[in-house]
Structure formats: C-alpha cells, structure tokens
C-alpha cells in the first residue's frame, strides 16, 4: 500500500466570527494564560527594553488569531512602552510622543475581518497604526531589523505539518495506533521532536532577521516537565478520546479506517529541556527569562462543556481539512458525549507546564 501524505495545516485557522463555537467566545483558557504573565511581561519590558531613541515602535503579535486576547497583549506592551518613555522624559532624555505600528500575524485564512472590526477606539483615532500580516511565522515575514518587540502565545506547539515518517507504513515511526505524539513510542517521539527542533529553529532564525539589535521576543506557551509523557496529561487523554471516536465512526462507515490511520495531529509538546536547547542553539538572542509560570486554571477541574468547546474551536480546522466537512461536526458531537460518559479524572493526570520566555536580540 502506498505511503499516506502527512496531515497538513497549510490554511486552517481557529473558528472565526462571533458565533457559539468561535474562538472569540471560547478562548478564556488562553486568555487566563496571557493574564497570568501580564505583570511579568510589563516588568521585563521596563527592565530590558533599551533606549532605542526612536519615535516609532514596531510591534508584532505572531499567531494572533481573533478577538480580545491579541488586543490585550498589544495594549499591555504599548502601555508599558509609554510608561518607559515617560520615565525617560522625566530624565530629560526625550520629549516627543512616539507612534506605535502594530502588526497582527496569522495564517492567510485567519478571520482578520472580525479582528479588525473589534479594534479599540484608539486604533481608529490613529494613536496606533495597525495592519494584518498573513503568512506562516515559521518564515521571515518582515524586513531585516524592522521590529522592536515580537510576541507569541499558545502557538509554538503547533507544527506546520506532521512528520512524514509517522504517516509512512514502512517506517518504524508509523503512528498507526494514535493520532498524536503520546511519547510512548520512541520512534514517533523522535520524528516529532526532529520536526519541532527544525521548525522552532526556523521561527527563532526568522525573528533574528526581523528584530533590531536589542529587540525583544516574548514567548508564552506549553511544554511538558522533563520526564512527563503527553499521554499522561489531561490534554493527552482528550486526544485519545477523539481518536476512539474516530475509530468508532470508521466502524460505522462514516469515515474510513485508512483516513483514521493516516490522521496525525501536527502538535508537539516538547520536554522543557528540549525547548531550552532549541532556544539556546540560535545564539543570536540572550535568554533573559525562561521559567515555568502557573496557569490560573491549573488546579481547577475543567467542566466537560468547557473542554469540548476548547477543542471544537481549536481542532475544527485540522479535522475538517483531513476528513471533510461531513465528519467534523459528528466527531466533535460524539467527543462531547464521550466526555459526559467518561469525565476526565484530573487528579489522576500529570500536569503539563506553561512556560514564559523573554529573549533579547544580541547587538550586532
């Protein structure tokens, strides 16, 4: 039998608009993560931002999606830069009011229309100049030495595709019995790890080109504590439940066994030490901060409805692209029912880790 093509994520975004399943209405988990580092971000910018001696600050949010989360992030950065500017003015270093150019980046099919409809008034009053920048952040998106601050949150566990070997029946890394990297099969884990290292290396290299000397890159995301397997976390349990639903649908003739066996999520949660290694490898940034931060919902048992809404919003695109529109709603409805029958035992699950990274571009 011929090798199957890996699952692609070339063009699917989070669910746009403002409907009941939209990202705007179902991203409070991500919002809580952002809020948990608001003060830390503010303090780091005040302490680490050099005096660029410019009247224009250029800020980019990579993987912005839709809604208030990206706007809140950018607002916090702008307010902090204004405060730092005021402190400099009080020292007599500068007395001009800066402009802020903000770039919102995501995949081309991201719902930029809804994003720009929700811009706060001060954008419309031209206190801040904003534009959308479609494209993959695993490539360079801006001209050299053009950005002062970059930011991304809850994005870098998404790969641009799945590793080829996990979809190859002739490979030891063929991931026939799972739809994600469980960390139970070493060959599968190594295939995902290799792709992760390549793509995060590309992400950092692209930011190396775009950020000015002394520029800052702020990264918030998810990884695994060293030694913890993905399958043991509540998110890993969820992925397995989705897989079970797909298998039952294949048995019912709603989709095919071949389709299920060739489906792998383009998601990889690295071990913390793996993440540290890839951040250090580039050599063009100093790691000012790299640490674990507690998610506000970390010790909170999440409701079945809450979990179902999160995964419907975030997984709808990749499932639809692989299986087609006629399968995705049926699958996610079955998943919601399965959660009701078999609620996740959070006490029995190991915890994943939220990390906060603050990089500073070295002086050329």
Q: 351: number of CA atoms within 13 Å, CB side?
A: 13
Helix extents (H) in 37-143: 38-48, 68-90, 112-117, 121-124
The tokens describing 185, both together, are 């099969």
On the question of pLDDT at 69 being above 50, the answer is yes
Residue-level pLDDT at 12: 65
Residues 6+ positions from 147 with CB-CB distance below 8 Å: 58, 59, 60, 103, 207, 210, 211, 212, 215
Pairing of strands 56-62, 147-153: parallel
Coil, strand, or helix at residue 33?
helix
Q: What share of the chain has pLDDT > 70, as a percent?
A: 94
For residue 211, what pLDDT band results from cuts at 50, 70 and 90? very high
Coil, strand, or helix at residue 30?
helix
Contact yes or no for 195/180 (Cβ under 8 A) = no
On the question of pLDDT at 202 being above 90, the answer is yes
The tokens describing 40, both together, are 């830390």
Q: What mean pLDDT, rounded, does the chain reach?
A: 91
Residue-level pLDDT at 10: 53
The tokens describing 231, both together, are 């399958």
Mean per-residue pLDDT, 44-69: 90
Count CB neighbours of 187 within 10 A: 14
From CA 188, how far away is CA 231, in angstroms rounded?
Answer: 13
Query: Among the listed ranges 8-12, 191-195, 247-251, 291-295, which one has the minimum average pLDDT value?
Result: 8-12
Mean per-residue pLDDT, 283-297: 95
- Name the E strands within the chain: 56-62, 99-106, 128-134, 147-153, 211-223, 285-293, 353-361
Mean per-residue pLDDT, 337-346: 93
Residue-level pLDDT at 160: 92
Contact yes or no for 345/264 (Cβ under 8 A) = no
Residue-level pLDDT at 284: 94
For residue 3, what pLDDT band results from cuts at 50, 70 and 90? very low
- Which letter does DSSP use for residue 283 in this model? -
On the question of pLDDT at 6 being above 70, the answer is no
For the chain, what are the domain ranges? 28-226+266-298+350-361
CATH superfamily of 28-226+266-298+350-361: Vaccinia Virus protein VP39 (3.40.50.150)
Residue-level pLDDT at 328: 87
Residue-level pLDDT at 93: 56
For residue 353, what pLDDT band results from cuts at 50, 70 and 90? very high
Residue-level pLDDT at 98: 84
Instruction: Provide the Cα torsion 61, 49, 121, 313; round to 10°.
Output: 30
From CA 333, how far away is CA 268, in angstroms rounded?
Answer: 25
15 burial type by CB count under 10 A (0-12 exposed, 13-18 middle, 19+ buried):
buried
Instruction: Please write the tens of the pLDDT for every residue from 140-168.
Output: 999 999 999 999 999 999 999 999 999 89
Residue-level pLDDT at 49: 86
Residue-level pLDDT at 95: 56
For residue 94, what pLDDT band results from cuts at 50, 70 and 90? low
For residue 2, what pLDDT band results from cuts at 50, 70 and 90? very low
Contact yes or no for 322/245 (Cβ under 8 A) = no
Instruction: Please write the tens of the pLDDT for every residue from 166-190.
Output: 989 999 999 988 999 999 999 999 9
For residue 193, what pLDDT band results from cuts at 50, 70 and 90? very high
The tokens describing 283, both together, are 């050599």
Residues 6+ positions from 184 with CB-CB distance below 8 Å: 178, 229, 231
Order of strands, sheet of 211-223, starting from the edge strand that comes earlier in the sequence: 128-134, 99-106, 56-62, 147-153, 211-223, 353-361, 285-293
Residue-level pLDDT at 91: 65
From CA 352, how far away is CA 191, in angstroms rounded?
Answer: 21
């Amino acid at each position: 039998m011929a090798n199957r093509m890996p699952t692609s994520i070339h063009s699917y975004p989070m669910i746009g608009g403002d409907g009941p399943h939209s990202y705007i209405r179902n991203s409070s988990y991500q919002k809580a993560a952002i809020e948990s580092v608001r003060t830390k971000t503010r303090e780091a910018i005040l302490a680490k931002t050099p005096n660029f001696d410019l009247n224009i600050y250029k800020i980019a949010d990579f993987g912005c999606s839709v809604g208030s989360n990206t706007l809140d992030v950018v607002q916090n950065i702008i307010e902090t830069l204004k405060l730092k500017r005021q402190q400099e003015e009080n020292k007599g270093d500068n007395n001009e009011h800066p402009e802020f150019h903000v770039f919102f980046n995501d995949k081309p099919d991201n719902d930029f229309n809804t994003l720009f409809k929700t811009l706060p008034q001060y954008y419309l009053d031209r206190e801040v100049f904003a534009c959308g920048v479609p494209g993959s952040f695993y490539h360079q998106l801006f001209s050299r030495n053009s950005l002062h601050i970059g930011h991304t949150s809850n994005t870098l566990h998404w790969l641009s595709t799945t590793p080829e070997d996990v979809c190859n029946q002739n490979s030891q890394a063929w991931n026939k019995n799972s739809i994600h990297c469980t960390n139970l099969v070493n060959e599968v884990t190594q295939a995902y790890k290799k792709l992760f290292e390549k793509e995060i290396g590309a992400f950092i290299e692209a930011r190396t080109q775009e950020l000015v000397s002394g520029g800052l890159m702020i990264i918030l995301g998810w990884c695994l504590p060293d030694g913890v397997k993905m399958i043991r976390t509540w998110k890993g349990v969820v992925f397995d439940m989705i897989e079970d639903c797909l298998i039952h649908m294949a048995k019912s003739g709603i989709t095919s066994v071949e389709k299920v066996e060739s489906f792998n999520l383009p998601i990889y949660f690295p071990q913390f030490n793996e993440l540290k290694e890839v951040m250090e490898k580039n050599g063009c940034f100093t790691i000012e901060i790299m640490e674990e931060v507690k998610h506000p919902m970390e010790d909170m048992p999440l409701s079945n409805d809450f979990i179902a809404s999160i995964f419907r919003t975030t997984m709808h695109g990749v499932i639809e692209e692989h299986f087609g529109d006629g399968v995705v709603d049926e699958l996610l409805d079955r998943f919601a029912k399965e959660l009701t029958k078999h609620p996740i035992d959070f006490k029995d699950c190991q915890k994943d880790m939220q990390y906060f990274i603050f990089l500073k571009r070295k002086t050329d």
